[in-house]
């Protein structure tokens, strides 16, 4: 990797120079160096997966000997890191916190910690001061520094030229994809999610064996991101493929939960990586306060030493899966993680897909490996050179001793050995430093035997350095060993689209038995059975009468038919319970009827049964049966225009589950009694129907009753007809004026 050079822009000396400087020149000379400094030296991670702040901190801990031994105070590490990182102590400590095991931000933490380091999933759970916490490097860090002392990476001077630091860390695995990273620079940003170490190693090995491995194969090996907070990832292979190819996109994450039947509560045990518990609690709390979620009676944070847990107490009878599906839509319990794989390569930012990143890491890792092998090769060649010099004195050990003994000055020993045995200065220095006890044939022969093995090792190293395939084989072997040693099962569970059940965003409705009442003037009551036990006498306005009354449940939906040939629908739960002694809700106002519109029938429905009908009787003597399914709607529509035919005024409407008897009375005092099954079914709501009652031109139907109400009319049975249309029979009770008030 090339050294980075900082350029210092000359500052204009006078106000005139500043005023006369074009804006483009100002941006180029003053602003751009700052931009590049932020991008290259601060915000964007490099191919080793680290930003400079991470790298300086970890390298400082490595040089402090924290790979082994006891932990040290975090304050000590922060202070030592300032030799490489001239930022404030708190900025350095915050960097350290995120890399610790205690913070839980990484799948594979780099720092073994003791003390309170806050939590990645909490905004308010603060970390303790550095004087209270202790840290050391995790054993996993051995894979970060392998070969760093063998010139595996380039070392550069620190900011004050008092020591050196690595430009990159020679990571033996693609840490850039294993550790999540986020950075906001100037004009660009980077957001890299974490992937499972085992899957990343498998995908990298596949690319090492076949550089042309396609994205489909990589997707099979490296399925999707994996986050330290676990949760569930809504898997879309096409979407994942786009991220792998372009380095941009987003993934949907949702919480994982279990339902505790014994305590009737939902325990949320994992949440999306991109949210916090405070955001979730606030969102849930707002929904509960606003009455949008009625199932939840209490919610609390139960995080303790055993791990993460957010508890929701729910009402009896609540479907936990349906509730959670609604919470996923309304709260951060489901959130997205935006991917933007911007990585510095050779000092320049590049947005890359997963395969391109792995190819770049392989190139980087091969370079580290070759530098390390060249270091070993140099050391072995130096040793071989010394041993060859030692071999020359084997021919005449007495001569070497004589030269040393007869040399008067110490400074002349090395030159005399060089002359006497025709060896160079390095070999002569080595021989001169051999202890007197080792100047024997056995010792020297033993050392010379190493020459053969050294020559073989050198030949092997040179072969690897010159062979790309052998280098890749070594890297693949290292990755396989890392996978076996540090690999973990996936933390984030994958769920597929076909496994997701969509739940409508409806509020929880508490269910209980109710009694509903509708009056002719449009007053509607919903009364609990308990209230009715105290008093069942209904209060009505003067002259008003009850036209509908039935038992149902609070979760039912009401269908209201009006004299304007329209239908209105509403949830029964939308109405407050009242008492029999109250007038109730005025339906035309509650459901926003048109002017002069009044209800003629109300029916509570828990389902739209295709075998059930609504029977309409019109003034012109016609009637029709419409299946109740004609009023079912996919959306929560309040108003249905054209509920039935408006060609003749409506007299009455009846809900039919099984065939019923209907008594129709004309203004001439005649009536017919027919079975509802005689009336043909029409699927079109606005059908005018068929003739039921044969009327003269000036006559019309004035009333119609059904079921038990027919018994109030004396002689009704004499009006029974088995065919339609039928002529009316004089009804004695109507002719005499009896029961006139009971006609609706």
**Torsion angle in degrees (nearest 10) through CA of 446, 448, 450, 456:** -150
Residue 390: strand, helix, or coil: helix
Annotated catalytic residue, options 34, 132, 159, 496: 132
Contact status, residue 645 vs residue 566, Cβ threshold 8 Å? no
* pLDDT given for residue 37 in this prediction: 63
pLDDT, residue 447, reads 78
Q: What digits encode the pLDDT tens for the residues 21-73? A: 777 777 666 766 766 666 666 678 999 999 999 999 999 999 999 999 899 99
Please provide the distance, in angstroms rounded to a whole number, between the alpha carbons at the two ends of the chain: 95
Contact between residue 313 and residue 13 where contact means Cβ atoms under 8 Å apart: no
Q: Which tokens sit at 418?
A: 């060089």
The two three-digit tokens of residue 634, written as one number: 């996919």
Structure-block tokens of residue 24 = 């483009």
Query: Does residue 715 or residue 231 have the better pLDDT?
Result: 231
CATH of 359-486, one of 3.40.920.10, 1.10.490.10, 3.40.50.2300, 1.10.268.10: 1.10.268.10
Chain-centroid distance of CA 685 in Å reads 46
Average pLDDT, the chain: 89
Which residues in the chain are classed under CATH 3.30.1360.40?
256-332
Phi-psi region for residue 739, left (φ > 0), alpha (ψ -120 to 50) or beta?
left
Give pLDDT, residue 4: 45
- Whether 13 has a pLDDT exceeding 60, the answer reads no
| Helices 468-486 and 354-394: angle between axes, nearest 10 degrees | 110
Q: What is the mean pLDDT of residues 610-617?
A: 94
Q: Are 597 and 588 in contact (CB under 8 A)?
A: yes
Secondary structure of 653-715 in HEC code, one letter for each residue: EEEECCCCEEEEEECCCEEEEEEHHHCCECCCCCCCCEECEECCCCCCEEEEEEHHHHHHCCC
For the question of residue 132 being annotated catalytic, the response is: yes
Per-residue pLDDT tens over the stretch 310-337: 999 998 888 899 899 999 999 999 999 9
Strands 493-496, 232-235: parallel, antiparallel or unpaired by DSSP? Answer: parallel
How far is CA 317 from each of CA 89, 154, 510, rounded to the nearest angstrom?
54, 66, 9
- 24-28, 110-114, 234-238, 266-270: segment of lowest average pLDDT: 24-28
d(Cα 403, Cα 541) in Å, to the nearest integer? 136
pLDDT at 518: 92
What fold, for 256-332?
Answer: Gyrase A; domain 2 (3.30.1360)
310 in Cβ contact with 301 (< 8 Å): yes
CA nearest 230: which of 275, 281, 293? 275
Give the Cα separation of 17 and 14 in Å (integer).
5
CA-based R_g, the chain, Å: 44
> Which of 718, 727, 601, 584 minimizes the C-alpha distance to 656?
601
Judge whether residue 357 has pLDDT over 50. yes
Of 452 and 395, the structure prediction assigns the larger pLDDT to: 452
- Taking domain 44-168, whether its CATH number is 3.20.20.70 is answered by no
Backbone CA torsion sign across 650, 654, 655, 657: negative
DSSP assignment string, 421-477: HT--HHHHHHHHTS-GGG-SHHHHHHHHTHHHHHHHHHHHHHHHHT-HHHHHHHHHH
The architecture in CATH of the region 513-742 reads 6 Propeller (2.120)
> Which two structure tokens, joined as six digits, stand for 672?
């017919």
pLDDT digits (tens, 9 = 90+) for 506-531: 655 677 888 999 999 999 999 988 78
Asked if residues 528 and 513 have their Cβ atoms less than 8 Å apart, the reply is yes
Beta-carbon count within 10 A of 264 CB = 15
pLDDT band, residue 19 (cuts 50/70/90): low
Band of the pLDDT at 534, cuts 50, 70, 90? low
Pick the closest to residue 127 from 145, 113, 139 (CA basis): 113
The verdict on whether omega for the bond into residue 741 sits within 30 degrees of 0, i.e. cis, is no
* Ranges of CATH 1.10.268.10 domains, the chain: 359-486
571-583 tens-digit pLDDT: 888 888 888 888 8
């Amino acid at each position: 990797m090339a050294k980075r050079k900082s350029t210092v822009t000359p500052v204009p000396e006078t106000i005139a120079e500043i005023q006369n400087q074009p804006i483009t020149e100002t941006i180029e000379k003053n602003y751009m160096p700052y931009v590049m400094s932020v991008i290259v030296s601060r915000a964007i991670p490099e191919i080793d997966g680290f930003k400079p702040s991470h790298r300086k901190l970890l390298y400082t801990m490595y040089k402090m000997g924290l790979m082994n031994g006891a932990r040290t105070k975090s304050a000590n590490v922060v202070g030592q890191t300032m030799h490489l990182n001239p930022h404030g102590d708190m900025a350095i400590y915050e960097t350290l916190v995120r890399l610790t095991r205690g913070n839980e931000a990484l799948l594979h933490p780099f720092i073994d910690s003791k003390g309170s380091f806050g939590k990645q999933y909490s905004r308010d759970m603060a970390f303790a001061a550095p004087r209270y916490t202790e840290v050391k490097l995790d054993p996993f860090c051995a894979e970060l520094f392998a070969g760093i002392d063998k010139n595996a990476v380039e070392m550069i001077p620190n900011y004050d030229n008092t020591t050196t630091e690595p430009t990159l860390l020679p990571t033996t695995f693609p840490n850039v994809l294993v550790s999540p990273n986020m950075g906001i620079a100037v004009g660009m940003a980077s957001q890299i999610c974490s992937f499972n170490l085992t899957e990343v190693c498998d995908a990298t090995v596949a690319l090492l064996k076949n550089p042309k491995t396609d994205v489909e194969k990589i997707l099979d090996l490296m399925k999707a991101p994996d986050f330290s907070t676990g949760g569930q990832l809504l898997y879309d292979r096409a979407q994942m493929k786009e991220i792998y190819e372009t380095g941009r996109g987003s993934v949907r994450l949702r919480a994982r939960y279990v339902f505790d039947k014994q305590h009737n509560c939902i325990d949320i045990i994992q949440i999306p990586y991109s949210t916090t518990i405070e955001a979730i609690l606030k969102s849930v709390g707002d929904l509960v306060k606003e009455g949008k979620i009625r199932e939840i009676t209490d919610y609390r944070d139960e995080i303790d030493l055993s791990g993460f847990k957010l508890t929701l107490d729910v009402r009896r009878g609540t479907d936990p899966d349906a509730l959670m599906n609604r919470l996923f839509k309304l709260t951060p319990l489901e959130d997205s993680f935006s991917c933007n794989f911007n990585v510095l390569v050779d000092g320049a930012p590049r947005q890359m897909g997963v395969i391109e990143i792995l190819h770049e890491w392989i190139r980087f890792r091969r370079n580290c490996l070759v530098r390390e092998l060249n270091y070993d090769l140099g050391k072995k060649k130096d040793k071989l050179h010394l041993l060859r010099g030692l071999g020359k004195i084997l021919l005449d050990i007495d001569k070497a001793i004589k030269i040393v003994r007869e040399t008067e000055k110490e400074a002349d020993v090395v030159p005399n050995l060089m002359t006497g045995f025709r060896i160079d200065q390095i070999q002569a220095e080595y021989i001169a430093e051999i202890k007197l006890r080792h100047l024997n044939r056995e010792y020297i022969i033993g050392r010379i035997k190493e020459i053969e093995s050294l020559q073989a090792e050198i030949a092997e190293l040179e072969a690897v350095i010159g062979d790309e395939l052998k280098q890749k084989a070594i890297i693949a072997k290292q990755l396989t060993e890392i996978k076996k040693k540090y690999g973990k099962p996936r933390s984030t569970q994958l769920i597929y689209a076909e496994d997701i059940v969509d739940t409508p965003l409806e509020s929880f409705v508490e269910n209980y038995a109710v009694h509903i009442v509708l009056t002719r003037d449009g007053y509607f009551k919903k009364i609990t059975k308990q209230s009715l036990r105290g008093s069942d006498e209904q209060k009505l306005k003067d002259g008003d009468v009850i036209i509908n009354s039935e038992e149902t449940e609070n979760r039912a939906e009401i269908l209201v038919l009006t004299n304007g040939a329209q239908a209105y629908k509403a949830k029964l739960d939308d109405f407050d319970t009242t008492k029999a002694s109250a007038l109730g809700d005025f339906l035309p106002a509650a459901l926003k009827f048109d002017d002069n519109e009044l209800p003629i029938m109300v029916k509570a429905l828990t389902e739209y049964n295709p075998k059930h009908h609504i029977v309409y009787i019109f003034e012109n003597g016609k009637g029709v049966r419409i299946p109740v399914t004609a009023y079912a709607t996919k959306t929560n529509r309040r108003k249905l225009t054209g509920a039935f035919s408006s060609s003749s005024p409506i007299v009455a409407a009846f809900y039919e589950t099984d065939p019923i008897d209907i008594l129709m009375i004309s203004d001439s005092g005649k009536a017919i009694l027919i079975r509802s099954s005689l009336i043909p079914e029409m699927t079109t709501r606005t059908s005018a129907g068929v003739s039921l009652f044969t009327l003269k031109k000036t006559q019309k139907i004035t009333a119609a009753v059904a079921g038990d109400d027919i018994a109030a009319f004396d002689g009704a049975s004499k009006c029974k007809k088995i065919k339609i249309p039928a002529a009316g029979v004089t009804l004695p009770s109507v002719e005499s004026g009896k029961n006139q008030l009971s006609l609706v």
